[in-house]
Structure 1
Amino acid sequence: MLLKEKQKFPLKIKRMGINGEGIGFYKKTLVFVPGALKGEEVYCQATKVQKNFVEARIVTINKPSKFRVQPACPIYEACGGCQIMHLRYDKQLEYKADVLRQALKKFQPAGYEDYEIRPTIGMDKPVHYRAKLQFQTRSFGGSVKAGLYAEGSHRLIEIQDCLVQDKLTQDIINTTVKLLDKHKIPIYNERKIAGVRTVMVRRAVATDQVQMIFITSREVRLSGLISELTKTYPEIKTVAVNLNTSKSSDIYGDKTEIIWGQEAISEEVLDYGFALSPRAFYQLNPQQTNALYGEAVKALDVTPDDDLIDAYCGVGTIGFAFAGKVRSVRGMDIIPEAIEDAQKNAVAMGFTNTYYEAGKAEDIIPKWYREGYRATALVVDPPRTGLDDKLLDTILDFAPEKMVYVSCNVSTLARDLVRLTKAYQVEYIQSVDMFPHTARTEAVVKLQRK
């Protein structure tokens, strides 16, 4: 390794990596430079020297990219919640298709060189799109602040006006912080103090209904705060408390209790509505969720004779897009509250051909097959960790005729396709920009059994 820590050197950026960083080579040494764009010539300083690569920071940009823009967010670099706001938006969309290609090249699933990668579907106005926030709370000098940790640290960056966050949820968290101060609510401290550690605010865009969760490491009295908050914001319909006493980085503990208001809020996607309980998963960008689910419906291309399994079904949202088009829909999820929501949502929409069960897909699907159920179509929408190995085994064992994989992580998608292409042909991949200004993208993969 020729480079040493703190050494300064010139570098030409050849491409951008999956975390939005610029990538170049200094005398055959791989160098990662956050904030650098493809085609730029930078003068940088090594910050970390590893055996096979170096991380560096920009000192000066000697030749900027013509696609570099001034980020509209004043705390963009400090926050770290967005990674590519300095790249013009149309080029962000091209980048997201490119990182998909990079992931495929790394894992090399069968026939990957010939996959059809369709242009990324973007937003007309890629701002204030996040309908859910989870901000950490901390007390500094007796004053409560809320925001996100700076990347790779536990240093809180206060956020009062986030460019990608829904404006109503931002207003509510700002007011909540003032009320936490006013009512002297204990605020969590990693060393010794137990109290409120995180606040979740989610808005259902179709109905303007809002739900909140206070995540706390001890019981706290919130009645006075809730009374003031709900008078100020009549949109708030549900307030819950989640108890998390662990020292881990997990946001939530096991127990969530609604302490004010109704059990769920109502949201809509495509042409149907559904209920969301506080802990139930739903996409962060409701506008692009319409595009994402629309692409999933198009890709699966079901018929009235199809029987569909919706793995990782959550509150049933993707499955409901198919329920009126197929003979049956069955779904499962490991969160019991989500399954309860799915069951209630199906009844509310008048579906009699749906069935939902709490548990792991790799356990439930074989059980259903033993009981005589046969699926002709499968849709999976896993977390960022991708498909469980046992579930991959299960899918390959039963191999429904057609399948759609909805992914939020290009790396685990490419990894899983290595296994899936033993039984399936990749027809195409459609990326959808669910998270403008970040390095993340979603992808819909159309698979057909060989």
Structure 2
Amino acid sequence: MKAPMKEGSNREKQKPGQNRSMCPVFGRCGGCQLLGMSYEEQLAWKKEELKKLLKGLCPVEGILGMKDPFHYRNKVHAVFDRDRKGNIISGIYQESTHKVVHVEQCLIEDEKADEIIGTVRGLLKSFKIRVYDEDTQFGLMRHVLVRRAFATGEIMVVLVTASPVFPSKNNFVKALREAHPEITTVVQNINGRGTSMVLGDKEHVLYGKGYIEDVLCGCRFRISSKSFYQVNPVQTEVLYGKAMEYAGLTGTETVVDAYCGIGTIGLIAAGNAGRVIGVELNPDAVRDAIHNAKLNQMKNARFYCNDAGRFLTEMAASGDKVDVVLMDPPRSGSTEEFMRAVAKTGAGKVIYISCNPETLARDLKFMKRLGYRAVKGVGVDMFGMTKHCEVCVKLERGR
């Protein structure tokens, strides 16, 4: 959704004393496009935008907002650089650039994560560790990623280095843990590629078990450095609760969780379904999903590493029955091939979770051509202060 105002717009129209005065980098980082609005105004704007985008495609029930729209991000990533004086800075790239905006405290990031990143920044100076320079491709420390489990309090710190050689790494980790004893695991991820990708393929566990665990909707999940896990756990429970309400499971259905990741929504559904089949292309995510099924003693859930569209096509060809399809595609939306495969299964219900209402609108038009009608939808505000909004839509197959 397009933000209603950009930096440089007529500021006289905004009320004084609102959120943006709380952020020293507002307008430079590009992250919180709606910071100039009160939270109530943000929700009203998102609701109207949803209604416009989905007009004639899906009735919108409303938007479910947060009780506290600040410090909700349980996954925080920072990139390192140096300022003009040579001081180590950390933060995020300025929008559409590779210029780092120094951020010490962010209104939407977990406060403990920001503290840990500040400590890492100080330790880099103390241990005389060079930060990575994208232009020269020299230096060691590229990024730091902090993930905090909301329910368990477990914290993972991922130190992303350009080389596997990490001088004084044991002492570095010891100093970090002494400053933050709440850290439960530290991982070194090696990214030697000359690209802007954050994580590399190889990693070593420097402390702890190499992953954290969190509880969501009564299920326990293992989260590794590369796992996709929603960044706002409180609102994720709201979102998945609405998805389960729309699915209306009775305990007998065959449910396919497409784009299943580490199995979150599929395993939440498994408690009220006959069987759940999760499909995901990322092999690391599938391994985590299989582990999570065992962790939750869900014997009626199976996970497969495959293309979801191809998998559904094969299910349909074999005559395997599918009652409900849960789909949570990336921002680019689904594909026509996948949606055709859904139609081939004859699934009576499709629950579409979208992080991009614009591609959702496109996909709903295509699903309508395939005989599926969007019965209702609801927005769930997962990302306060930003223009982004999740949407959950219930589709039913025409008779």
Residue 238 of structure 1 and its aligned partner are, at CA, apart by 2.2
Q: Give the Cα separation in 1 of the matches to 2:140 and 2:53.
A: 41
Aligned partner of residue 184 in structure 2, secondary structure: strand
2:154 to 202, 209, 215: 209
Greater shift in the superposed pair: 182-191 or 348-357: 182-191
Say yes or no: does 1:138 pair with 2:87.
Answer: no
In terms of fraction of residues, the more strand-rich structure is 1
Indicate how the Cα distance of structure 1 residues 225 and 445 shifts in structure 2: closer, same or farther if over 3 A, else same: same
Q: Which letter maps to 1:441? A: C
Identify the residue that residue 381 of structure 2 maps to in structure 1: 433
Indicate how the Cα distance of structure 1 residues 67 and 435 shifts in structure 2: closer, same or farther if over 3 A, else same: farther
2:329 to 357, 377, 382: 382
Q: Give the Cα separation in 2 of the matches to 1:328 and 1:67.
A: 54
CA contact 2:34–2:387 (8 Å) conserved in 1: yes
1:73 to 8, 20, 23: 23
Residue 309 of structure 1 and its aligned partner are, at CA, apart by 0.4
2:256 to 288, 309, 317: 309
2:126 to 159, 169, 182: 182
Aligned partner of residue 199 in structure 1, secondary structure: strand
Residue 67 of structure 1 and its aligned partner are, at CA, apart by 9.4
2:290 to 343, 359, 362: 343
Indicate how the Cα distance of structure 1 residues 344 and 78 shifts in structure 2: closer, same or farther if over 3 A, else same: same
CA contact 1:129–1:165 (8 Å) conserved in 2: yes
Deviation track 1:230-287 (CA, whole Å, cap 9, x = no partner) reads 2322222222233323333332233344333203211011222221122111001111
Deviation track 1:146-185 (CA, whole Å, cap 9, x = no partner) reads 1011112111111111111111111111111111221122
Q: Give the Cα separation in 1 of the matches to 2:146 and 2:187.
A: 10
Q: Give the Cα separation in 1 of the matches to 2:185 and 2:316.
A: 39
Indicate how the Cα distance of structure 1 residues 103 and 258 shifts in structure 2: closer, same or farther if over 3 A, else same: farther
Q: Give the Cα separation in 1 of the matches to 2:343 and 2:311.
A: 15
Say yes or no: does 1:164 pair with 2:113.
Answer: no
Identify the residue that residue 116 of structure 1 maps to in structure 2: 59
CA contact 2:187–2:210 (8 Å) conserved in 1: no
Query: How does 1:66-105 map onto structure 2 within 5 Å?
Result: 69-71=18-20, 72-104=22-54
CA contact 1:149–1:155 (8 Å) conserved in 2: yes
Identify the residue that residue 11 of structure 1 maps to in structure 2: none
Greater shift in the superposed pair: 223-232 or 379-388: 223-232
Residue 392 of structure 1 and its aligned partner are, at CA, apart by 2.1
1:173 to 94, 117, 120: 117
Q: Give the Cα separation in 2 of the matches to 1:310 and 1:124.
A: 29
Identify the residue that residue 125 of structure 1 maps to in structure 2: 68
Q: Which letter maps to 1:233? A: H
Indicate how the Cα distance of structure 1 residues 95 and 182 shifts in structure 2: closer, same or farther if over 3 A, else same: same
Percent of aligned pairs with the same amino acid: 32
Q: Give the Cα separation in 1 of the matches to 2:312 and 2:129.
A: 46
Q: Give the Cα separation in 2 of the matches to 1:75 and 1:172.
A: 20
Residue 79 of structure 1 and its aligned partner are, at CA, apart by 1.9
Indicate how the Cα distance of structure 1 residues 67 and 330 shifts in structure 2: closer, same or farther if over 3 A, else same: farther
Greater shift in the superposed pair: 173-182 or 332-341: 332-341
Greater shift in the superposed pair: 431-440 or 360-369: 360-369
Q: Give the Cα separation in 1 of the matches to 2:182 and 2:201.
A: 27
Deviation track 1:403-444 (CA, whole Å, cap 9, x = no partner) reads 100111111111111111122111111000000000000000
Query: How does 1:270-349 map onto structure 2 within 5 Å?
Result: 270-349=217-296
Q: Give the Cα separation in 2 of the matches to 1:154 and 1:310.
A: 36
Number of residues of Structure 1 aligned to a counterpart in Structure 2? 392
Indicate how the Cα distance of structure 1 residues 411 and 247 shifts in structure 2: closer, same or farther if over 3 A, else same: farther
Identify the residue that residue 364 of structure 2 maps to in structure 1: 417
Identify the residue that residue 235 of structure 1 maps to in structure 2: 182
Identify the residue that residue 4 of structure 2 maps to in structure 1: 21
Residue 61 of structure 1 and its aligned partner are, at CA, apart by 4.2
CA contact 2:119–2:179 (8 Å) conserved in 1: no
CA contact 1:281–1:315 (8 Å) conserved in 2: yes
Aligned partner of residue 76 in structure 1, secondary structure: coil
Considering only CA atoms, is the larger Rg found in Structure 1 or Structure 2?
Answer: 1
Q: Which letter maps to 2:4? A: E
Indicate how the Cα distance of structure 1 residues 225 and 389 shifts in structure 2: closer, same or farther if over 3 A, else same: farther
Q: Give the Cα separation in 2 of the matches to 1:276 and 1:296.
A: 22
Deviation track 1:334-369 (CA, whole Å, cap 9, x = no partner) reads 222221111111112111101001232123223344
1:268 to 203, 215, 219: 215
Q: Which letter maps to 1:195? A: L
* Structure with larger RCO (C-alpha < 8 A, sep 6+): 2
Deviation track 1:58-77 (CA, whole Å, cap 9, x = no partner) reads 3x545x25698352222222
CA contact 1:277–1:337 (8 Å) conserved in 2: no
Deviation track 1:116-172 (CA, whole Å, cap 9, x = no partner) reads 212211111111111111111113344321101111211111111111111111111
Say yes or no: does 1:191 pair with 2:191.
Answer: no
Q: Give the Cα separation in 1 of the matches to 2:43 and 2:142.
A: 35
Residue 198 of structure 1 and its aligned partner are, at CA, apart by 1.6
